[in-house]
């Protein structure tokens, strides 16, 4: 227990010391937040080409080395956020199980299953969807699966597939947040959740602890999808932290930079710069220096240009556009801010995995304080899925 709790406290200390580099909302800023405190770093950031930014985003070691001059804790942060691969077994998977499952998802499911210990316990598949994970659990572990899912049609489809494949899977249509779901968590059972979002996987961990379940394995995802406005720590250790995380902060671990094609990059540039240009315009018109978010936009509208976007956004936010607006000026302002945000996000990238590990270790410490032996590691490489962390816990007295 001391190992994980100590790692959490070390991470917590370093993240707390460096809040100025990661805990803010780049979109709300008109200029770099470090102009006064770190002018030399800002000058370096401004000197970077688009290709250099892309290379640094793709290579964490190179990013650590580059930022260490201004963020002395960069190397320590990187070291504390490393997560070792879990051992995995070679498993013979029966032919035809992957019917209807996208290839990348099937690869994730196989890797997740291969990293799970064979405890010879019945399974509970939490937030099961159509039971894609349940299929491989039932087929390769020779144990029955209860698949809990709140969407009725997904249960119907999953039940039909399981029947066709002759697998011992029973679907339960239930709300994972409702107390009635507790009845499906048994003491002699292995509960699993692959990429259950936010409070859904947290709820499973809490229910398993309350019901003294024998084992639970989760791969956390979408940490920002919580019911409260501020993150509620689970463990005694995390509750002592001075770090307070809102939903925007909780999105940071999910902002994985991936290489995209030229068309996708261009579309992303247009949308972000248009949003920022309109934001600068509305601040000017309303004499208000606060960021104004606008709803999701149909990508086709971006092809109609900045003026069309502003007309659409103004209508959505009930803002009257004055005559004779210099739209070209505000578009250029949006493009300027886009470049600044891109560089601020490059620095925040350094804290993406450390913050994810902070959240994961909170869950690990919670399970340890609740009488569970816990193992922590990755079940696949990042190209398969960036959300590749697996928490596995077994109750000590089971």
Domain ranges of the chain: 26-69+259-350, 103-250+358-395
β-sheet with 123-126: strand ranges across = 169-173, 145-149, 123-126, 190-197, 215-221, 389-395, 372-378
Contact 297, 270 (CB under 8 A): no
The pLDDT of residue 2: 55
Q: What is the 3-state secondary structure (H, E, C) of 183-228?
A: HHCCCCCEEEEEEEEHHHHHHHHHHHHHHCCCEEEEEEECCCCCCC
C-alpha to C-alpha distance for 218 and 379, rounded to whole angstroms: 11
The pLDDT of residue 347: 98
The pLDDT of residue 4: 95
Q: Which parts of the chain register pLDDT below 50?
A: 1
The pLDDT of residue 257: 55
Contact 243, 16 (CB under 8 A): yes
DSSP per residue, 243-290? ---BHHHHHGGG-------HHHHHHHHHHHHHHHHHHHHHHHHHT--S
C-alpha to C-alpha distance for 273 and 270, rounded to whole angstroms: 5
**Which class does domain 103-250+358-395 fall in?**
alpha beta
Q: Tell me the H-state helices in the chain.
A: 2-17, 39-47, 50-58, 60-67, 74-80, 103-114, 132-141, 152-165, 198-211, 236-239, 247-251, 262-286, 299-302, 306-316, 327-349, 352-369
Contact 392, 117 (CB under 8 A): yes
Closest to 114 (Cα-Cα) out of 153, 150, 145, 141: 141
C-alpha to C-alpha distance for 341 and 197, rounded to whole angstroms: 27
Here the tokens at position 5 are 């709790």
Contact 387, 375 (CB under 8 A): no
Centre a 10 Å sphere on the Cβ of residue 320 and count the other Cβ atoms it contains: 8
For tokens 């399970």, name the residue.
367
C-alpha to C-alpha distance for 334 and 273, rounded to whole angstroms: 5
**Which CA distances in Å does 109 have to 84, 96, 140, 201, 346?**
19, 14, 12, 17, 31
pTM over cut 0.85: yes
Determine the angle formed by the axes of helices 39-47 and 327-349, rounding to 10 degrees. Answer: 110
Here the tokens at position 273 are 């710069």
Here the tokens at position 280 are 């600068």
Closest to 364 (Cα-Cα) out of 339, 338, 391, 327: 391
C-alpha to C-alpha distance for 254 and 237, rounded to whole angstroms: 24
CA 329 to mean position of chain CA atoms: 36
Backbone phi and psi for residue 311, each to the nearest 5 degrees, phi listed first: -60, -45
């Amino acid at each position: 227990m001391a190992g994980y709790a100590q790692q959490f406290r070390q991470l917590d200390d370093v993240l707390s010391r460096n809040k100025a580099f990661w805990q803010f909302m780049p979109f709300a800023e008109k200029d770099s937040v470090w102009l006064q405190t770190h002018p030399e770093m800002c000058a370096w950031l401004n000197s970077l080409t688009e290709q250099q930014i892309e290379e640094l985003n793709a290579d964490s070691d190179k990013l650590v080395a580059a930022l260490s001059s201004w963020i002395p804790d960069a190397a320590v942060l990187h070291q504390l956020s490393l997560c070792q691969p879990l051992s995995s077994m070679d498993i013979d998977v029966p032919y035809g199980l992957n019917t209807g499952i996208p290839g990348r998802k099937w690869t994730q499911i196989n890797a997740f299953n291969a990293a799970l210990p064979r405890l010879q316990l019945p399974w509970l598949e939490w937030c099961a969807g159509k039971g894609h994970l349940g299929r491989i659990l039932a087929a390769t572990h020779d144990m029955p699966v209860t698949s809990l899912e709140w969407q009725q049609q997904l249960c119907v489809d999953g039940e039909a597939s399981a029947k066709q494949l002759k697998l011992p899977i029973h679907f339960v249509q239930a709300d994972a947040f409702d107390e009635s779901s507790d009845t499906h968590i048994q003491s002699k059972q292995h509960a699993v959740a692959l990429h259950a979002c936010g409070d859904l996987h947290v709820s499973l961990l809490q229910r398993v602890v309350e019901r003294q379940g024998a084992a639970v394995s989760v791969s956390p995802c979408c940490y920002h999808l919580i019911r409260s406005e501020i993150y509620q720590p689970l463990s005694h250790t995390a509750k002592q932290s001075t770090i307070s995380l809102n939903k925007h902060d909780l999105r940071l671990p999910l902002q994985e930079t991936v290489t995209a094609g030229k068309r996708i990059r261009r579309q992303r540039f247009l949308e972000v710069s248009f949003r920022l240009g309109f934001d600068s315009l509305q601040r000017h018109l309303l004499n208000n220096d606060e960021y104004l978010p606008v709803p999701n936009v149909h990508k086709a509208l971006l092809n109609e240009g900045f003026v069309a976007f502003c007309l659409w956004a103004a209508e959505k936010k009930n803002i009257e556009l004055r005559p004779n607006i210099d739209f070209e000026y505000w578009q250029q302002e949006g493009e300027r801010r886009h470049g600044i945000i891109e560089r601020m996000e490059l620095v925040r990238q350094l804290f993406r995995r450390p913050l994810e590990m902070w959240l994961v270790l909170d869950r690990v410490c919670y399970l340890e304080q609740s009488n569970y032996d816990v193992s922590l590691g990755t079940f696949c490489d990042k190209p398969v899925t960036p959300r590749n962390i697996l928490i596995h816990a077994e109750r000590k007295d089971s």
